[in-house]
Amino acid sequence: MKRMGILESITSYPPLNLQPNEQQTIKVFKQSSPSVVNIDTFRGSAVLPNVEVPLGTGSGFVWDDFGHVVTNFHVIRQANPDSIAVTVIQPDGERVTVKGTIVGVDEDKDIAVLKLPLLDPNRRSYNWAPISRPHGSFSPNGAENVIPRLPLCVGQTAVAIGNPYGLDHSLSVGVVSGLNREVRAPTGRPIEGVIQTDAAINPGNSGGVLLDSSGRLIGMNTAIYSTSGGSSGIGFAIPFDTLAYSVPNVIRSGRVVRPILGISYLETNRAALLGITRGVLVLDVPGGSPCEEAGLRGTKKRGDGGVSLGDIIVSFDGNRIDREADLFKYMESHKVGDAVTLGVRRVVEEVEEVRKGRV
């Protein structure tokens, strides 16, 4: 009888009997991993001049063949712009760390775009592996016609790849737990249409990819809901539709220009303490602004120490406004300079008045 060595006996075992869904997950991970990058950020030391200290780590992914990498704005927000290190896996498995240059950001959607060098003195070129997207590749100038809304279903498989706690290219699998959620951008502005998932997302996963079962990008992991700081089964991802609008604009012009009314307002939760259950309370209307010209009134202190509440915006172009998120949602359907109609309730007079202004 032939006696086999240890190595020979191990390698002679039949392959693992993997189920079809396991084989598909493995395929997605192998296919998508080269597109996911690790981002290390640094900032100057407050003690030692000309010395930089590590700030944090995050994730990102290769957007196109031109070396653009997408990540969260909050990942690079406090970093020295000249000290962002991006580690990429080449198709041949080699790990390469290069400098990432900030192309631009969309703070209101927590999106940032970096540019990787295409050429290096030590090698002829790098081979970037763009993530698989539902609607093909964008052109260099960011022009592309995309389907307005990527159809998703609660319960479909969601695959997250990122670098939690610095552990590069970690995979977690779950489902789409909810749709049309809302999270806050670093600017405080709400991000609408966010995907909720129970795929484990932890610190360091920010900027990583959320994929469907075919390996196509459906969102960028951005936040977790947790009291401990670790995954609690509630993670959030910025949807592909938002990325498809913001990223090409950032690549083209370095930023995304959105209309604003120019007023300051009181957040809905705080307004409720004043008995305001619907609408957006105007706090201040800058002098010379279109809203002042339209006659909107802000909140003011009275001589007796009390407060005279300002106008409450209750509709936008005929659409009901219950909270500030509604206001931002309807504004995003307009361009700068568009004329809009605001329905306001003037507290003193207890009547609804219509005011016209420009955003």
The backbone torsions φ and ψ at residue 188, rounded to the nearest 5 degrees and listed phi first, read 95, -10
Q: Which of 32, 132, 206, 246 is catalytic?
A: 206
**H and E: helices and strands count for the chain:** 7, 21
Distance set, CA 77 to CA 72, 100, 102, 204 (Å): 9, 14, 11, 14
The two tokens of residue 83 are 């000290």
Q: Beta strand 95-99 with 36-44: parallel, antiparallel or unpaired?
A: unpaired
SS3 288: coil
Q: Which of 35, 40, 68, 74 is catalytic?
A: 74
SS3 145: coil
Distance set, CA 188 to CA 83, 201, 260 (Å): 26, 22, 14
Closest CA to 108 of 192, 180, 189: 189
β-strand partners of 176:
197
Instruction: Give the Cα separation of 158 and 172 in Å (integer).
Output: 9
206 in active site? yes
Q: Which of 40, 64, 108, 110 is catalytic?
A: 110
The two tokens of residue 288 are 């010379």
Neighbours of 268 (CB within 10 A): 18
Instruction: Give the Cα separation of 64 and 211 in Å (integer).
Output: 16
Q: What is the dihedral of CA 20, 24, 26, 30, to 10 degrees?
A: 150
Closest CA to 236 of 62, 35, 72: 72
110 in active site? yes
So which residues are the catalytic ones?
Answer: 74, 110, 206
